Structure 1
């Protein structure tokens, strides 16, 4: 089973306003998008587990025209709070790169 980094040309995370974080997972081909965008490794439940989010609030949005998936979840605390560790959420994607796809 490949790791996410092996079938994607670009993976990023970023802020989506002060209350949300979003991930953009761009697959390197339409074939890989079709094969893996519904993988349990990219599921709502998996993101909820990895990032401590409520699964009912995680959004998983496939965008076939771009061979990508957008996944968003609410921040545990608002952006810029006293316990903020990644103000722009630009480092959150790193733990996804070694996730094995099914």
Structure 2
């Protein structure tokens, strides 16, 4: 019998965690027919500080393929919320619009790794 069969393989642990594991809730919605808004509810002060330090605006812009100059970021410490707003790629209700209510955009952030 080969000796390595007795070892249990475990996944390599990383110091990084996914945003969806740190945040209490990530929500996206329309901010009118021309803009989207993403709300990251942190749930605690520690989570808020970790997310604000580890989640760069340029990185979020690249995930959504948005112009960084047009992406607006709001860190609301009193509520432990980070908010991003940016123009929709297609006006709400157009034939090319694949998310009429803007609710599916939050999923793109859930798997982002945060330090």
Q: Which has the larger radius of gyration?
A: 2
Other-structure match for 2:113? 100
Stretches of structure 1 lacking an aligned partner (at least 5 in a row): none
Q: Which residue of 2 aligns with 1:84?
A: 97
**Structure 2 unaligned blocks of 5 or more:** 1-15
Q: How many residues align?
A: 100
**How large is the Cα RMSD of the aligned pairs?**
1.0
1:7 paired to 2:22: yes
Name which of 36, 48, 52 aligns with 1:37: 52
Normalised TM-score (structure 2) = 0.82
Q: How does 1:17-28 map to 2 (within 5 A)?
A: 17-28=32-43
Partner of 2:4: none
Dislocated runs of 4+, deviation >4 Å: none
Listed one character per residue, the Cα deviations across residues 12-59 of structure 1 (whole Å, up to 9, x for unaligned) are 0000001100000011211111122132xx322112211111110000
| Length-normalised TM-score, structure 1 | 0.92
- SS of the residue corresponding to residue 91 of structure 2 reads coil
1:100 positional shift: 0.4
Which structure has more helix as a fraction of its residues? 1
